[in-house]
Amino acid sequence: MTSAGAKEQAANRLETKEAQLVELLKSLGSVIVAFSGGVDSAYLAVTAAIHLGPRAIAITGDSASYPTFQRELASRIVSKFAIRHELILTEEFEDPDYISNPVNRCYYCKSELYQKLSALAEERGFKVICDGTNADDVGDYRPGRQAAREFGVRSPLLECGLTKAEIRELSRRAGLPTWDEPASACLSSRIPYGQVVTIEKLSMVDRAESALKELGFRQVRVRHHGDVARIEVSEAELPRALTVEMTARMSRALKAIGFNYVTLDLEGYRTGSLNETLNRRDSR
């Protein structure tokens, strides 16, 4: 098959999946979309809004673990696409199982969110709660999926076999600003397992990542290791981060936030880097 033929075949597959998604959403009747403002939930929320109108609502769980830049991005999407949207306060910090930060911490966070969304769905008459899980998420360690199953949450993107790359392409076509946004996760994912999650720690991480974005870094994480901040930036951005001038600027910015030591991870950004210690432990 020629490269042109392969491209045409891929385009046809993508259009088929998109049509399947639209039909699936319509078949659900009315939906609440758990909306973080990330690539996947943004595309799902916009698609649901277009094809279901007032029978779709995007709900964002707001707490200290929600990054400031993500909240701002979600607000932009809601405004641009006229999505019916609400914020609800989640109370995962009232749960000792969450703040003790076990390896399945995400389960307790999602349980809190889905419990509130389930109550809202019953009160407002929405039939289904949906999340933005996609086909690439299946092989990853995601304890929040257990909570989704327990609350009967549907994953339309996954059910239609849409991958992250395909969702990015469909988002690009639809004009979503999220189409090329780096992957995101809640701020609690920056705290090593077993170390207590506190609002103070998350505030430090949030401010640190905002400071690094102001310095021009696009894909960045700040892992909180007590008085040490471990910075991860994308491989493409590492050369810029490793200059003498930039390391000094990063160090000043993060020490002003309260960290005593600032380090740069030479392996760069990667998702789930705090899971690496678990994998090494399991292999012994």
Whether the per-residue pLDDT at 278 is higher than 90: the answer is no
Confidence of residue 20 (pLDDT cuts 50, 70, 90): very high
For 97-154, what is each residue's pLDDT tens digit? 999 999 999 999 999 999 999 999 999 999 999 999 999 988 777 889 999 999 999 9
For 204-257, what is each residue's pLDDT tens digit? 999 999 999 999 999 999 999 999 999 999 999 999 999 999 999 999 999 999
DSSP class of residue 190 equals G
Do the beta carbons of residue 195 and residue 101 sit within 8 Å? yes
For 47-103, what is each residue's pLDDT tens digit? 999 999 999 999 999 999 999 999 999 999 999 999 999 999 999 999 999 999 999
Q: What pLDDT shows up at residue 142?
A: 83
Q: What pLDDT shows up at residue 4?
A: 67
Q: What pLDDT shows up at residue 275?
A: 59
Q: What pLDDT shows up at residue 55?
A: 98
Query: What is the distance between the alpha carbons of residues 59 and 69, in angstroms, rounded to a whole number?
Result: 17
Whether the per-residue pLDDT at 185 is higher than 70: the answer is yes
Burial 200-212 (b: 16+ CB within 10 A, else e): ebbebbbbbbbbb
Quickly tell me which residue has 């999407």 as its tokens. Answer: 77
Q: What pLDDT shows up at residue 11?
A: 80
Whether the per-residue pLDDT at 9 is higher than 90: the answer is no
Q: What pLDDT shows up at residue 283?
A: 47
Would you call 88 exposed, middle or buried from its count of C-beta atoms within 10 A (0-12, 13-18, 19+)?
middle
Would you call 227 exposed, middle or buried from its count of C-beta atoms within 10 A (0-12, 13-18, 19+)?
exposed
pTM equals 0.90
Confidence of residue 284 (pLDDT cuts 50, 70, 90): very low
Percent of the chain with pLDDT over 70: 93
Secondary structure of 195-221 in the HEC alphabet? CCCCHHHHHHHHHHHHHHHHCCCCCEE
Do the beta carbons of residue 204 and residue 212 sit within 8 Å? no
Whether the per-residue pLDDT at 191 is higher than 80: the answer is yes
Confidence of residue 277 (pLDDT cuts 50, 70, 90): low
